[in-house]
Structure 1
Amino acid sequence: MAEVVLNQLVKSYGGMAAVRSIDLTIPDGAFAVLVGPSGCGKSTTLRMIAGLEEISGGTISIGGRVVNDLPPKDRDIAMVFQNYALYQHMTVYDNLAFGLRNRKESEAKIAEKIAHAASILSIEPLLQRRPKQLSGGQQQRVALGRCIVRHPQVFLFDEPLSNLDAKLRAQMRIELKRLRERVPATSVYVTHDQVEAMTLGDIVVIMKDGLIQQVGTPLQVYNDPANLFVAGFIGAPAMNVFKGKLDAAGEKVMVEGVALSVGERNRAALRGHAGREVMVGIRPEHIALGSHGNQLEGSVDVIEQLGSEMHLDLKMGNAAFTVARVAPDAPIRLHEKVTVSIPADRMHFFDADTQLALRAPSLSGALAA
């Protein structure tokens, strides 16, 4: 295992910057997930760590060693690709053995390592098959096995589950969690799927336009998003966002003509923004049916029945659709007018100009640390 450190990392293609001055430390043994929309620079960052892309500026260190000028084979990393990258003419055994044979290891040692990896991944019955005889999930296990037998300092994963169907993706997420317990290693995982990011990562790194927007644990980025982009990107359904304006005391915010209390949690953060326009966020699970606390009224525009819960799209004046998550048996009808309550201390506030989160100083310091 090894610490991975990116220092002012830059990648440009001609005049276009794909990655712009990234600083990131991934501790020894951590599982870091780079997540963001297409084109945000996450895969380019991973490929620079792997040595598959030349860097335009900055440094990459693995285990305290700067690897900028080292070829991939000398970086002591192993990579799992989206398309598995298996040799179709070879058996599973020979695919697993290929890298070890290139390193001139003995056949006895190779057989021992393959037996160990096959046991961990439950692929012993597949060793004499060829990749075309395997399912997508089985091929992905073989790709993982090829990495395990090498005992690298760092595992790199480039959207390894994106070619699998929804059910198999969920199964493979569980397999990856189990694998982490049995083969602890520093890992960097790239995905556009926030569910993978939240369930797999110790550290979640959210990217946009070649820049890191926030680094934190899954709960930190969910409960205390650093800016409006993170707030909208993490969470499904996405956080509801309204335009608002604070009163002169910074204790109430006007949303769609209704004055809402900002709550004790937010007062310290909002004190310097009294009288200014802000963006107000509330997660769907924190909106409840009923008339207590802060209240807003709207008409039910869309109902989505999911079995375990129901999603309501509510139209509220000029506001964008508001999504509420409620019990699946809630007595709600389409186009019905409803009143919902919004807990003041569950509201998030963002600067209307910079889109940065407005946080109490103590909380900002804790997250920065």
Structure 2
Amino acid sequence: MAAITLSKLNKHYGSLFHAVKDVDLEIADREFVALVGPSGCGKSTTLRMIAGLEDITSGDIRIGERIVNHLPPRDRDIAMVFQNYALYQHMSVYDNLAFGLRNKKTSEAEIKAAIDRAAGMLGLHGMLQRKPKQLSGGQQQRVALGRCIVRNPQVFLFDEPLSNLDAKLRAQMRIEIKRLHAQIPTTSVFVTHDQVEAMTLGDRVVIMREGRIQQIGTPLAVYGKPANKFVAGFIGAPAMNFIDVAVHNEAGATAVEAAGLRLTVSAPDARALAAYGGRHVILGVRPEHLVLGEGAPGAGFDARVEVVEQLGSEILLETRVGSHGVTVARVAAETAIARGDQIRLSAQLGRLHFFDPETELPVRA
């Protein structure tokens, strides 16, 4: 096993595009880290540089005790799972699993033992003589995982491996990968654009935007204390609501106001907003931190329901508050509510977020 260290990592494509910008990241031995961000943020390029599939413009990559900048992929002791499975269609599942080991001149007895172990973990014993085209997408992805397991590498690299699967299979494969990491705690880097995958799989989550790391932390840390407005809006489903509000510091209380909205903030938020009296900030509130009804004093506001999304286990309400746009609230599935209803919503005052409108950094005490 091995730790991974990225130091001032950069990738330029010619003089026009700077894809990865001064990335510093330390991944501990046996840690599972998820790189997440929108398309084009540099996460897959970073992964491919770790794998040796992309040249490094500047910086260093260390796997274990070795700097691997100029080592070819085969010498880095890594295994990679791709989005498109990358299986040999003319070979059986057994031969796909054995291919890398045979190239390393491993004995057939050792190959059989390694495949038996991997097949047992992944439920592949009944498929070993089939060809990939005879398997479902989820089964093919399990074969791709098995091909990595039999090699027993220092590092697993996952490049959006679940993107081609339907929603149910994706959920199943997330559980499969989580279970495998518990059984084989190998240092792992998982790239995805899906923040649910990142949050459920990663010991830590690395959020990227335009080639730069925005925040590194545990799933709960990046959810509860986002480093900036981008992270706050990217992490969480549905996304955080943002409202431009004015700050009013009054005797004994601080309130934020927008058209149709006035909230009296908590004491910690009042201290944080003390320097913003008479100015505007961006209020952030997650849908799950809005509740139907009056709530605490100074927490309620009126809204008109514009869209009702019945999801079975819950309802998402898209509402209009005053004239400043749509606010999404999450309510219980049995709530009787319809489009056009006038409702009263209340914010959980201790769960509000505030951001400086110029820097987009959080306003905290």
TM range (shorter): over 0.9
Alpha-carbon displacement from aligned partner over 1:19-42 (angstroms, at most 9, x marks no partner): 111111111111100011111111
State the Cα deviation string for residues 180-209 of structure 1 (Å, max 9, x = none). Answer: 111110100001111111111111111111
Higher mean displacement: 260-269 or 218-227: 260-269
Classify 1:340/1:38 alpha carbon distance in 2 versus 1 (closer, same or farther; 3 Å): same
Name the counterpart of 2:114.
Answer: 113
1:269-348 matches, cutoff 5 A: 269-293=272-296, 294-348=299-353
For 1:54 and 1:63, locate their aligned partners in 2 and report how far apart those are by CA, in whole Å. Answer: 19
Aligned residue number for residue 103 of structure 2: 102
Runs of 5+ consecutive residues of structure 2 not aligned to the other structure? none
Output aligned runs, 1:257-268, within 5 Å: 258-268=261-271
Q: 1:257 to 1:335 in 2, by over 3 A?
A: closer
Cα separation, partners in 2 of 1:316 and 1:167, compared to 1, 3 Å: same
In structure 1, the residue corresponding to 2:273 is in which secondary structure?
helix
Instruction: Map residues 159-308 of structure 1 onto 2, 5 A cutoff.
Output: 159-248=160-249, 251-256=254-259, 258-293=261-296, 294-308=299-313
Deviations 1:125-163 (A, max 9, x none): 111111111111111111101100111111000000111
Rounded Cα–Cα distance in structure 2 between residues aligned with 1:180 and 1:273? 47
Match of 2:85 in 1: 84
Task: Classify 1:64/1:277 alpha carbon distance in 2 versus 1 (closer, same or farther; 3 Å).
Answer: farther
For 2:96 and 2:163, how far apart are their aligned partners in 1?
22
Count of equivalent residues? 360
2:132 maps to 131
Residue equivalent to 1:155:
156
Q: Contact 2:318–2:327 (CA<8 Å) still a contact in 1?
A: yes
Amino acid aligned to 1:254 = E
Counterpart of 1:251 in 2: which secondary structure?
A: strand
SS in 1 for 2:165: coil
Whether the 8 Å CA contact 2:266–2:349 is kept in 1: the answer is yes
How far residue 66 of structure 1 moved from its aligned partner, in angstroms, is: 0.8
Task: Answer yes or no: is the 8 Å Cα contact 2:9–2:56 preserved in 1.
Answer: yes
Structure 1 segments (4+ residues) deviating >4 Å: none
SS in 2 for 1:161: coil
Residue correspondence of structure 1 range 45-64 to structure 2 within 5 A: 45-64=46-65
Residue 349 of structure 1 is aligned with which of 345, 351, 354? 354
Distance 2:308 2:149 in 1: 46
1:210 and 1:82 map into 2 onto residues whose CA distance is: 21
Task: Supply the distance in 1 between the matched residues of 2:153 and 2:187 (Cα, whole angstroms).
Answer: 9
The alpha-carbon deviation at position 257 of structure 1 amounts to 5.2
- State the alpha-carbon separation in 1 of the partners of residues 311 and 238 from structure 2: 12
- The Cα of 1:258 is off from its aligned counterpart by 3.8
Report the Cα distance in structure 1 between the residues aligned to 2:364 and 2:66, rounded to whole angstroms.
37
Q: CA RMSD in A?
A: 1.3
1:236: Cα distance to partner?
1.1
